Structure 1
Amino acid sequence: MNKEIIIVDDHQLFTHSLQILVNSFEGFEVSRTFKNGEELVHYFNENKTPSDLILLDMRMPIMNGLETMAWLKQNLPEQKVLALTVDQEDEHIIKMLRLGCRGYLLKDIDPEMFEHALNSTINTGYFTNKTISDAMSHEERKKNYHALTGREMEFLTHACSEKTYKEVAKDMNLSPKTVENYRESLFSKLQVRSRVGLVMFAIKEEIFKV
């Protein structure tokens, strides 16, 4: 049986092209498309059965990606969602992950990587662009995580919030340079390259719960 995919995106031409692409992947089928989150909510209010995966745009009229993700977290927390968008704002990415989004893709993603993202999310529950390297270094990251200092753990918790690094520095009563040093130290120890990577690691290891 094919995995059922729902697309939520207000750009109809993109949605049509995406539907053709997804349907070309073995074992996948787009079951429904919606132009905004409100249409998706109406559907789920009538039919509470989750789909295998939702591909969710961020910038939509009436009910955008963040609002839709918040509703899903409240009403269908088991529903797997991948953001598929042009929005690259760190703040929005972190908010989506905190709301339970399983991964964040940009619309210029390579089709082969996109297919891999679908499979990874459905089979493992999450997708990052460093899936293979993360798997190879998982044990080392866990060892390094247990070796983090109290202040590094405090910084990691702050990194999972919506605060800017400047605000984190103020809350931790540190200089922005010291906070930058904590950030680079965690990047190295946990083998991630971005704040999003820190949040994904924290979610996977249940350091931070969505």
Structure 2
Amino acid sequence: MSKTVIIVDDHNLFGQSLKGLINSFNDYQVLAVLTTGQELVDYFEGNRVKPDIVLLDIRMPVMNGMETMEWLKVNYPDQKVLALSMEHEEEIIIKMIKAGCRGYLLKDIEPDEFLFALTCVLDSGYYLNEETSSALRCARENLSSNPLSQREMEFINLACSELTYKEVALQMNLSPKTIDGYRENLFRKLDVKSRVGLVLYAVKNNMVSV
């Protein structure tokens, strides 16, 4: 049975090109190419076939990616979604992950990595990109031999919020320099390379509530 995808992107040429690429993969089929989040809402409310994965552009008119993700979280919380982004938009991506998004893709991604991302989401539930992929493989082993402290867990929970690192420092009554140390130590311990990677790892491993 084919693995099904819906593309939601207001750039029609990109969406159609992406459709062609996905349909060229073995056992993958694009059910629809939509241009706004509202069109996706209409699709779901029309009792049509639900996809295995939704590819959701972050910046769209009418109903953007974040608004769409919030609607899906309420109405279809188990729907697997990958965000599409032109650039690394950390703040928005973290909000989308907290709303249930399973990872994000930059639009200049290589086709092989794109297929790997789709496979990851279907097999493990999340796609951790080149910044975080090694965490998917070995983080549990790292933590079994080097568990997190209570303060590290506190930092992770705050880092998964909308607070800046400076605000995290204030919350923890620590200096920004000490917070930088916590961050770098956790990046090494969890084998991630960015705040987005840290959030993805924490959500995937049920270390924070979403």
Q: Distance in 1 between matches of 2:54 and 2:137?
A: 28
* Partner-residue secondary structure (3-state), 1:47: coil
Seen in structure 2, the aligned counterparts of structure 1 residues 48 and 174 have a Cα distance that, compared at 3 Å, is farther
Q: CA deviation at 1:151?
A: 1.4
Q: Show structure 1 runs of 4+ deviating over 6 A.
A: none
Kindly indicate whether the alpha-carbon contact (under 8 Å) linking 1:58 and 1:87 is maintained by their aligned counterparts in 2: no
Q: Report the Cα distance in structure 2 between the residues aligned to 1:194 and 1:80, rounded to whole angstroms.
A: 22
**1:16-51 alpha-carbon deviations (Å, 9 max, x no partner):** 111110100111011111110001101111217531
Counterpart CA distance in 2 for 1:36 and 1:102 is 19
Unaligned ranges ≥5, structure 2? none
User: What TM-score comes out, normalization by structure 1 length?
Assistant: 0.94
Aligned to 1:140: 141
Q: Report if the CA contact (8 A) 1:50-1:76 is conserved.
A: no
Question: Which consecutive residues of structure 1, in runs of 5 or more, have no partner in the other structure?
Answer: none
Aligned residue type for 1:46? G
Q: Which residue of 1 aligns with 2:20?
A: 20
Equivalent residue letter for 2:9: D
> Corresponding residue for 2:164?
164
Counterpart of 1:122?
122
Moved more, 27-36 or 135-144: 135-144
Q: Is the 8 A contact 1:144 1:189 kept in 2?
A: no
Cα pair 2:7 2:30 within 8 Å, conserved: yes
SS at match of 2:55: strand
Distance 1:92 1:144, change over 3 A: farther
Q: How does 1:93-104 map to 2 (within 5 A)?
A: 93-104=93-104
- Rounded to whole Å, the distance in 2 between the matches of 1:170 and 1:117 is 37
Equivalent positions of 1:3-42 (< 5 A) are 3-42=3-42
Q: Is the 8 A contact 2:57 2:85 kept in 1?
A: yes
| TM-align CA RMSD | 1.6
Q: Which amino acid aligns with 2:142?
A: R
Distance 2:19 2:48 in 1: 23
Is the contact between residue 143 and residue 189 of structure 2 (CA under 8 Å) also seen in structure 1? no
Q: Number of residues paired by the alignment?
A: 209
Higher deviation after alignment, 27-36 or 87-96: 87-96
Between 1:155-164 and 1:128-137, the stretch displaced more is 128-137
Deviation of the 1:203 alpha carbon? 1.0
Deviation of 1:135 (Å) = 4.4
Separation in 1, partners of 2:88, 2:177: 25
Change (3 A) 1:90 1:144: farther
Question: What one-letter code is carried by the residue in structure 2 that aligns with 1:105?
Answer: L
Taking the aligned partners of 2:83 and 2:145, their CA distance within structure 1 comes to 29
Separation of aligned partners in 1, 2:133 and 2:40 = 33
Write the distance in 2 (CA, Å) between the matches of 1:133 and 1:184: 16
1:157 maps to a residue whose letter is: N
Within 5 Å, give how 1:1-210 maps onto structure 2: 1-47=1-47, 50-130=50-130, 133-143=134-144, 147-210=147-210
Quick check: 1:37–1:63 contact (8 Å CA) kept in 2?
Answer: yes
Contact 1:85 1:107 in 2 (8 A): yes
Give the fraction of aligned pairs with identical amino acids, expressed as a percent.
Answer: 55
